Amino acid sequence: MTTVLKSTAVKRGGAPGRRHAVGWLYAAPTALFVLTLFIVPLVLVLQMSASDWPLLRGNQGWNFPDNFVEAFDHRLFWQAVGFTVLYAAIVTVLLLGLGLGLALLVQEATRWKSLLRTAILVPSALGLASAALLFYVLYSPQAGPFAWLMEATGTTFLGTPTGALFSTVFLMVWRFTGFYMLLMLVGLNGIPEEVYEAGRIDGASRWQNFRYITLPLLRPTIALCLVLSITGGLLAFEQFYILTAGGPDNSTMTVVQLIYGVAFRGQNDLGLAGALSVLALLALVAINAAQLRAFRRPKEEN
Amino acid sequence: MATARRNPLLTGVFLALTGVLGAVFLYPLVWTAITSFSPRPGTGQSEGWGIGNYTALAEFQAGLWTYLANSFIVSLITVALTLVVSILGGYAFARFRFRGRNVLFMATLAILMVPYATLLIPLYVILNSVGLQNSLLGVGLVLTMFQLPFSVFMMRISFESVPPELDEAALVDGCSTFSTLWRVLLPAVKPGIITVGLFAFLAAWNDFFAPLILLNDASRMTLPLAVANMRSQVMGVIDYGATSAGVVVLAVPCILLFLVLQRHYIRGFMSGAFKG
Amino acid sequence: MHSLHRRRPRIRAAVALATAAVVAATLAACAPGSGGTAPADADIPAEGIDDGSTLTLWTRAPLQAQAELLVDAYNASHENQVELTIVANDDYVAKVGAAAGSGQLPDLFAADIAYVPNFVSQGMYQDIAPLIDQLDYKDEINQAHIAAGTYEGDPYVVPFVMDLSMMLWNKELFAEAGLDPEVAPATLQEFADAAKAIQALGKPGVSGTAAGLNCGGCLMFTWMPMVWASGSEVMNAEGTESLLDNEASQEVFAIWKDLYDSGALAEGSADETGATWVAGFQEGKVGIMPYPATLLPSLEFDAGLAGIPGIDGGASTFVGGDGIGISKDSKLTGQAWNFLSWLLSEDTQVEVLAKGGNAVSRSDLADNEYAAADPRLVTVNEVAAEGQLPIAINSQQAFNSPGSPWLTLVRNAVLGDGTTIVEDNAEITAVLDQ
């Protein structure tokens, strides 16, 4: 269908150059924002990563590749990378699975289901920092409602590396499931009813419908969810910053926490922080480019 | 679910399970709301139940109304700019082929991939150089930029999911591309627009780091900054009363917006969802 | 194809131009200030200039109450007006750093005294030696704070608000456990015995003592005075070598390990990151613990107070709080000094700070009329003069930051088997000596 549109649209618009111009006109505001507020600052981050740049004194001149060498040599670097990848993987699987499952569950317009949908969505209204603080109290062995449980078992939610990881994962699932459910609902909404109608006539089962109609047609939505979730997971910061501060014993130190710490808490070295950021950016661009390539519809591949 | 409706036992199990699920999602919020009124030593409400934490918040520094007003201004700027930019951008990416299209789209997505904190220092420098330091507009511009990857992607897939025959017909009837967008396509992508607008609002309303770095005057600060300031005491101690009251005040407008906008969603979703 | 070739260079040129402009702007703004600045103009009178200027002042949120108290009193009595900005504690350095990098610091800014040596050495403040020299009570100003703000012999910072760690105990719980509520534990062992006695009461939710074992700042604040009171040091004078493997330190860690092993520490102490480390005591659920004196007014029960004891007695305290100075970017040195000299004056210290229940930052004013009403405040003011502050440029990284080597040392020593103190101490030295 898209192919039809594009060929006719190009034909109708007259000279291809005009279509380009009109396309650019609509894309111009995006381009302006991206250029002035993203590309230019990004160039500065690149400059930082290749310079001796203490936070409090500013640029002291080029020193490439010292910052990158220092980044790889940092005592917490590889540990942080490993933990961040593990965390992102767990959160992505849970959020996409739950988001899609719940979207299918609450899709119909019954009273009960719209109540349920509301309940699942409401946590998405909170800022991540607020949500993390809320759970900090909830998990607290002094102020929280589960103090009795922790006293009875002699452990605390945030006291062991595994406990801290899954307590944080639970916070993220609580906070973001509704958001991913909403994205999935918007995606499901985009699937024309006639397609299912056709499936029904062919006698397709519920599972066959899901496997051969819903999933393939949800590809763009799933791609968006994957990009958001993996990127968000790999850049995880606030949730750990507030809940665990990287503890216990640095077991929940993420890459961005490391960057924040290097920039603002301790070394105050923007050069090293910039180098770590550039490494994170390169990794994410590679991962997401691979994902988008894998998810691109065959039609568009020309 | 059709089976569940027919069998009363299954219906009961379904209701119970989903009821528990709903309760899990609501419990932390309800608990926080109750906690914000409950007594706790070392907070604004140290004895008996009451609104001590809220009066402390209301009287904090420049006063709650100033912070609320600033947060609303920043959120409105962000929502308006995000909607305009992402609708036009999404339309361009979905319906036009132009040189640099993929590069621009990837560059927009790449915004997601840079740690927020690292980008803010250069942004601070840039806003200073154009005289937008310490201004709500500057914060709104920065927050809009951070919203673009999600919003542009969202609007792009929303436009792409509209059957192309729709706007093609309008174009054939002699409408300009803009009036096609305005009259034909916008109504069709309403759920996408509401989603983008809502999440731009939520992001702007709750954002802490951009206003922290970019705003200096107490009279221009936003609500999350005030809550963060109230919550911290000496040696990293957190005032839980102020925190829970702050979480509630921050959350109430967002939750209300969710509930109000839900009616629009239901209509939007149901138009395309299966009926059996 | 044709248009492509013509357009590309133009876009590229525009991008390059925009980038160059911004980079140039940054570079111009980042004039290097390597360690210290030229001394302030000696023509400025001792009391500074009060000509109706507007001064900006930044401070961190935990000191909001004291900062507002001071600024309101100053604005009410002066032509100059101070505009106060409060910044969240955890992100204060990020805020100051962003401003410093582009020459946008306020006229005056306060900072956690633990950061001050670093800030001063990076040239963030103006040298105020000639101005301080004009004060006849110069030597009575809290010496720990002055020392932290001194770089290459010149002072840059004066005390803004004092926050001292003191041993506090819940008198009611003391009485229940058969301890004398009016007598402070004289030694660390007596402190540990008292904590165990209260734990032995077996009251639900009540514990003997508490500690923030995942909070580097809390541990510095509460445990280092135990080493000082024992007559020992935690660092060498230059702040480049950690001495936490010395005998006194090892004994302090052994006492805490014993307390932890015997279950006398509050639930959650092991992973407390600082957010609730005093909450148990505030709620009356902890018997005795080293505690910030600033929080004294918020206690709703009767608490005893004394300096923090060492192994064989003695008393010390960690002289925390904030120092304040005139920023490198301020053009209003005389006016800013007017605020600082007013801040240190007897009238302000007694009639504003002490009247509001705060510690004073001048030793000659320790026993003032307001402190006399609550003898605990006199104790705080007196111990302040004996207190210390570990001064090191890398102290933040070595001790305060999450995951610091100091945290590793303490956690291994208290939660682990306590055999790695020497190696862990070497790790701290490695960070201090960078």
Note whether C237 contacts B: Cβ–Cβ < 8 A.
no
Over residues C135-141, the mean pLDDT reads 92
Q: Kindly tell me the sign of the dihedral angle through the C-alpha atoms of C293, C215, C65, B243.
A: negative
CB atoms B112 and A114 under 8 Å: no
Chain A residue with CA closest to B32: the answer is: A134
Q: Are residues C67 and C203 in the same domain?
A: no
Q: Please report the ipTM that was assigned to this predicted complex.
A: 0.87
Q: Mind listing the pLDDT tens digit for each residue in A148-176? A: 888 777 777 887 889 999 999 999 999 99
Residues with pLDDT less than 70, chain B: 1-6, 42, 233-236, 264-276
Q: Mind listing the pLDDT tens digit for each residue in C144-160? A: 999 999 999 999 999 99
The pLDDT value given to residue B233: 64
Query: Which chains form contacts with chain C, at 3 or more CB pairs under 8 Å?
Result: A, B
Query: What percentage of chain A exceeds 70 in pLDDT?
Result: 91
Over residues C302-313, the mean pLDDT reads 94
The pLDDT value given to residue C275: 75
Q: Which residues of B touch C217 (CB under 8 A)?
A: 235-236
Q: Are residues C154 and C266 in the same domain?
A: no
The pLDDT value given to residue A272: 94
The pLDDT value given to residue C273: 79
| Angstrom distance (rounded) from CA C79 to CA B263 | 57
The pLDDT value given to residue A17: 54
Over residues C411-428, the mean pLDDT reads 93
pLDDT for residue A70 is more than 90? yes
| Angstrom distance (rounded) from CA A3 to CA A33 | 30
Q: Mind listing the pLDDT tens digit for each residue in A73-98? A: 988 899 999 999 999 999 999 999 99
The pLDDT value given to residue C4: 40
Question: Considering its fold, how many domains does chain C have in total?
Answer: 2
Determine the 3-state secondary structure of A37 from DSSP: helix
pLDDT for residue C2 is more than 70? no
Spatial CA neighbour of A234 closest among A103, A61, A89: A89
pLDDT for residue C55 is more than 90? yes
Over residues C401-426, the mean pLDDT reads 91
Q: Which residues of C touch B59 (CB under 8 A)?
A: none
Question: Does C182 fall in a domain?
Answer: yes
Over residues C333-358, the mean pLDDT reads 93
Q: Are residues C306 and C226 in the same domain?
A: yes
Note whether B128 contacts C: Cβ–Cβ < 8 A.
yes
> Taking the domains of chain A in order of start, what are their residue ranges?
77-252
Q: Are residues C301 and C350 in the same domain?
A: no
Min distance C420 CA to chain A CA atoms (Å): 15
**Average pLDDT in chain C:** 87
Question: Does C136 fall in a domain?
Answer: yes
Question: Does C29 fall in a domain?
Answer: no
Spatial CA neighbour of A137 closest among B240, B42, B49, B44: B240
Q: Mind listing the pLDDT tens digit for each residue in C201-241? A: 999 889 999 999 988 989 999 999 999 999 999 999 888 99
Confidence of residue A142 (pLDDT cuts 50, 70, 90): low
Q: Are residues C203 and C264 in the same domain?
A: yes
Over residues C41-49, the mean pLDDT reads 80
Q: Mind listing the pLDDT tens digit for each residue in C85-132? A: 988 887 888 889 888 877 889 999 999 998 899 899 888 999 999 999
Q: Are residues C288 and C403 in the same domain?
A: yes
Question: Which of B118, B192, B258 has the CB atom closest to A121's CB atom?
Answer: B258
Q: Are residues C233 and C373 in the same domain?
A: no
What CATH number is associated with residue C243?
Answer: 3.40.190.10
Q: Mind listing the pLDDT tens digit for each residue in C246-285? A: 999 999 999 999 999 999 998 778 878 787 788 889 889 9
Cβ-contact C392, C151 below 8 angstroms: no
Q: Are residues C150 and C214 in the same domain?
A: no
| Angstrom distance (rounded) from CA A253 to CA C114 | 24
Spatial CA neighbour of B274 closest among A116, A198, A96, A222: A198
Helices then strands, each counted (H, E), chain C? 18, 11
The pLDDT value given to residue A273: 93
> Taking the domains of chain B in order of start, what are their residue ranges?
2-37, 52-272
| Angstrom distance (rounded) from CA C229 to CA C306 | 12
pLDDT for residue C30 is more than 50? no
CB atoms B237 and C279 under 8 Å: yes
The pLDDT value given to residue B51: 85
Note if the bond before C297 is cis, omega within 30 degrees.
no
Residues facing residue C311 across a β-bridge: none
Q: Are residues C254 and C179 in the same domain?
A: yes
Query: The pTM is what?
Result: 0.82
The pLDDT value given to residue B267: 57
CATH class of B52-272: mainly alpha
The pLDDT value given to residue B21: 92
Question: Which of C267, C285, C401 has the CB atom closest to A151's CB atom?
Answer: C267
Range of the domain at C197: 164-318+391-432
Domain A77-252 has CATH 3.40.720.10: no
The pLDDT value given to residue A18: 60
Chosen for mutation from C10, C91, C165 (greatest number of chain B CBs closer than 10 Å) is C91
Residue B202, H or E segment: helix B190-206
Q: Are residues C284 and C404 in the same domain?
A: yes
